[in-house]
Each structure stands twice: as C-alpha cells, then as structure tokens.
Amino acid sequence: MRGLAKTSRDAGAMELIDLERPDPAANEVLIEIEYAGLCGSDAGIYKFKPAFERMDLPTVIGHEYTGRVIEAGSEVTTVSTGDRVVERPIRGCGECYQCRMGEENVCQNTDITGVDRDGAYAGYIAVPEAVVQTVPHNVEPRHAALVEPTAICARAVIENSRVSAGDRVFVAGPGPMGLLSAQIAAAQGGDVVVAGVGQDTEYRLPLAEELGYSTINVESDDLEAVREERTNGVGYDVVFDTTGHPSGLPMAVDEVRKGGQIVMIGQTGETTMAYTPLVRAEIDLQCSYGAMYEDFEHALRLIGSGDVDHETFLDDRFSLLESDAAFEAFLDGETCKPVFDVSELRA
C-alpha cells in the first residue's frame, strides 16, 4: 500500500511512500480506510509548526477517518469484520492521574494518531479495539470521516459550554471547528452568528451563510454596531474562539456579555491583553480539548439526525495523489473541510 507521509521538517515535504500492510496484534483490528478528512493540525504538520517537532519522520499523517474492519485479532470481542468504524485518535496512557480520573483527553503521556504513529492517509491501519467506535447505518461513509472533529466540537458545546435555548452565540472563526461548533450550538437552541476575516469572504463565510447563519467580517463590519443590534448592547451569552489566532481571545472579551462565557477551542498561542475586565465582569473562561467516548457518541447522533450538515460542509474536490493543492487551499481559506477518498492509495 501507499501512504502520504511528512518526510522532513521543512514546509511542505509531503510524499507518497510505499508501506507494508500492517498485521493486527491480538487486541487490534485492521481497518481498510475509506475516507479521511484534512484537519488544521494536519495543515500545521504541512507547514511544520514547532508543536510537531516531536514527530519521528517519515510519518504518515491524518487522524480523521472511517473504514471497514477487514481483520480482527484473536482477543477482539466488541468489533466484527465488516463493521464500519472510526478511531478516537488521542490515546491516553491509562496510568497517569488524568487517565485514572477519566480525563484521558488530557493525558500526561498522550499519543496521537498521525503525529506519534502512522496515521490514516494510507490504505490500511491497525489500531487497538479499545479506541474504535462503530458507525451506525444512518451515517454515510464520507460523513463518518468527520466524526472526530464533530466530536471535539460536541464536547466544546455540549459538555463545556453553557449554551441553551435562546442564548445569543458568537462563533469566532469560520473554519472547520467554527462551523461545526455553530451547528451544534444551534442544535442546542442558540441564536448563532459566525465571524471571520477578509480572507474568509470568498469561501468560508458564504459557506456559513449556506448553513443558515448570519456572518460578520471583522475587518470591515462595525462589531460594536452589530453587537448593539443583535444583543441590545448587552453582549453575547457565549463566545466560541475557534480562530487559533492571538486576536481571537481579546475579541471574544469585547463581544461577550458580563457574566457570560468564552469557550476556547482554537489553540491561540501567545496573546497580550488586560485580564482585569474579565474578573470584574465575572466572565467564565473555559478551555476545551479533544474528545472522549461520549463525545463521539454525541457526534454520531448529531450527524445521523441531520442536526450537523456534513453534506454541505465537506469538500471532496481534492486527491491525496496531489495533496499540496488541498493543503494550500485550506491554508488560504479556499476550502473548509477537504475529505479524501483513500481507496486510491490501494490502486
């Protein structure tokens, strides 16, 4: 089989390499991968941001995927050959304090598919039975490839936010995590607006509008005037910062109401701002990272029910055989969620 691997610590440096099909261990299943998504972290690996220096290259990347189980190890009992599955790619060690407390998403020794081990941009992958979940029949294969990012946003909205019916919700960032969070917040009863920058006006903000949300261009629109109109000057009840940019949190502080909540999903890096206004306004600053079993279950149900619209959201124009086009379009905001047909790597 072939796999798309990061081969050096330079920007770009993605190559198709030949690999042996893995043999599953006794506690593993062998998955024939059908579809895989492109995540912001995959784009970070493509650019090779400092967070990925720990990678032992070459490494096949990709962690958002679905496929069929074609072989099961002798100790596997909960998954059968022929089942369509998804993987929870952030694996806890099972031994640290966080794992013992049921917080394996923030394990001290976390191990991530497509970063710390070969990932999903390959014909096949072998993974432990314990980290896969079965996909119900009412979830289409291409949509199942996006269960993992949907689960992360389900955790952010359902588990970690206070969004409830009638709440005014501001989503900063119209990328994959922003548009998924917007859909789930709307399913919770929130009145959602999505904000982006000038670069987003060509593809991502129009996509947000197609999904049914009002949009704001923060570079040209008067945010104070919009806030006055939409919230009577009070501010938004919940703000989701999915930008991954240093400007995201300061903007969220300006937009949230006193006593409101900011949920950080994007990894902002360093930012400088005054924190006294947060204290005096008793603003709840909540971080959200990764997803666990129940979040994946929520994601599968949201997709199956149609509360999350993946058909409009995904973009299947790109190929892993010419992957640079997908990565560059993603980084330039010309697409939001590329989904690859991985079967071509078995041809």
Q: What is the mean pLDDT of the chain?
A: 96
Mean pLDDT of 30-51: 94
User: What are phi and psi for residue 283, nearest 5 degrees?
Assistant: -85, 130
Distance between CA 94 and CA 111 in Å, rounded? 11
Is the pLDDT reported for residue 334 higher than 80?
Answer: yes
pLDDT for 194: 98
Distance between CA 253 and CA 76 in Å, rounded? 49
- With contact defined as beta carbons under 8 Å apart, do 54 and 3 qualify? no
Task: Give tens-digit pLDDT for 57-76.
Answer: 999 999 999 999 999 999 99
pLDDT for 269: 78
Is the pLDDT reported for residue 195 higher than 90?
Answer: yes
CA neighbours closer than 13 Å in the CB half-sphere of residue 310: 25
Task: Give tens-digit pLDDT for 156-178.
Answer: 999 999 999 999 999 999 999 99
Residue type for 314, please? L
DSSP state of 338: B
Structure tokens given for 7:
């081969």
**Residue 95: band (very low, low, confident or very high) from pLDDT cuts 50, 70, 90:** very high
pLDDT for 271: 85
Task: Give tens-digit pLDDT for 211-226.
Answer: 999 999 999 999 999 9
- With contact defined as beta carbons under 8 Å apart, do 203 and 335 qualify? yes
Task: Give tens-digit pLDDT for 304-318.
Answer: 999 999 999 999 999
State the virtual CA torsion across 121, 125, 129, 135 in degrees, nearest 10: 50
pLDDT for 182: 98
pLDDT for 51: 84
pLDDT for 266: 86
Is the pLDDT reported for residue 272 higher than 90?
Answer: no
In the chain, the N- to C-terminal Cα span, in Å, equals: 8
Q: Which helix (H) or strand (E) holds 303?
A: helix 293-305
Report if pTM > 0.85: yes
pLDDT for 70: 98
Is the pLDDT reported for residue 347 higher than 80?
Answer: no
Task: Give tens-digit pLDDT for 112-145.
Answer: 999 999 999 999 999 999 999 999 999 999 999 9
- Taking alpha carbons only, the member of 309, 339, 302, 300 closest to residue 134 is 300
Share of the chain above pLDDT 90, in %: 94
Mean pLDDT of 151-159: 98
pLDDT for 265: 95
